[in-house]
Amino acid sequence: MTQSPSMVQTERDVRMMFSAEQIAERVREMGLEIARDLSGSKPVFVSVLKGACMFQCDLARATPLDVELDFLAVASYGNGKTSSGNVRLIHDLRADIGGRHVVLCEGVVDSGLTLSFLMDMFRVRNPASLRVATLLDKVPCRKIAVPVDYAGWKIGNEFVVGYGMDAAERYRNLPYVGVLQEA
């Protein structure tokens, strides 16, 4: 019998926070909001690999605009659960974002250090506008102020996995977002 990801990975160690249906509905709303704000433009949706990949693709499909996709990757050395702030670019965009409307897509904004690094990097490339969309915003964890234009949900200091987000590379393919239970 073919098993879905949610059946393969039991919920023994993951408590569901947002179901696949809740995510789909919220992402649909966000996609329409972005389309209203950027009406008539051809924005570039940039995702930060790897955690934002599912969100970026679903958000793009929920946005009835002519959207271009691009990707970047950063490395951040921390203790595995928190960012050290030592962020380094390891894969740059292919698109020239000069004069373009950019929507930076994140799965979760935590300390804000990754986003702050990327915003600084992007601003000097002179985009027409730069917006941030994140599925989850861990507001109480912020170490540096960053502008979040679109947030699916604000959450507390919880270690979230699923829908692109991982714990040591596991759980990214869960169709829902859950909280990893401590053993």
Q: Is 26 or 50 the residue whose CB approaches ligand PRP more closely?
A: 50
Site for ligand PRP in 30-89 (CB under 6 A): 48-52, 76, 83
Q: Is 110 annotated as catalytic?
A: yes
Q: Is 60 or 109 the residue whose CB approaches ligand PRP more closely?
A: 109
Site for ligand PRP in 120-179 (CB under 6 A): 166
Shortest Cβ 78–ligand PRP spacing (Å): 7
Of 54, 121, 117, 110, which Cα lies nearest the Cα of 83?
Answer: 110
Q: Which stretch binds ligand PRP (CB under 6 A): 2-10, 90-98, 107-115, 122-130?
A: 107-115
Where helices occur in the chain by DSSP H, the ranges are: 5-8, 20-37, 53-61, 113-123
Q: Is there a contact between 76 and 89 (Cβ–Cβ < 8 Å)?
A: no
110 binds ligand PRP (CB under 6 A): yes
Per CB under 6 A, the list member of 114, 130, 135, 161 interacting with ligand PRP is 114
Shortest Cβ 118–ligand PRP spacing (Å): 9
Q: Is there a contact between 125 and 93 (Cβ–Cβ < 8 Å)?
A: no
The residue of the chain with the least Cβ separation from ligand PRP equals: 51
Per CB under 6 A, the list member of 34, 54, 97, 113 interacting with ligand PRP is 113
Shortest Cβ 21–ligand PRP spacing (Å): 23
Per CB under 6 A, the list member of 44, 106, 127, 136 interacting with ligand PRP is 106
What is d(CA 40, CA 14) in angstroms, rounded to the nearest whole number?
A: 41
Shortest Cβ 12–ligand PRP spacing (Å): 22
Q: 15-20: long-range contacts at Cβ-Cβ below 8 A with a sequence spacing of 24 or more?
A: 15/178, 15/179, 15/181, 16/176, 16/177, 16/178, 17/155, 17/158, 17/160, 17/176, 17/177, 17/178, 17/179, 18/152, 18/153, 18/163, 18/176, 18/177, 19/176, 20/163, 20/175, 20/176
What's the N-to-C CA distance of the chain in angstroms? 30
Catalytic residue IDs = 110
- Residues forming contacts to ligand PRP in the complex (CB under 6 A) are 48-52, 76, 83, 106-115, 166
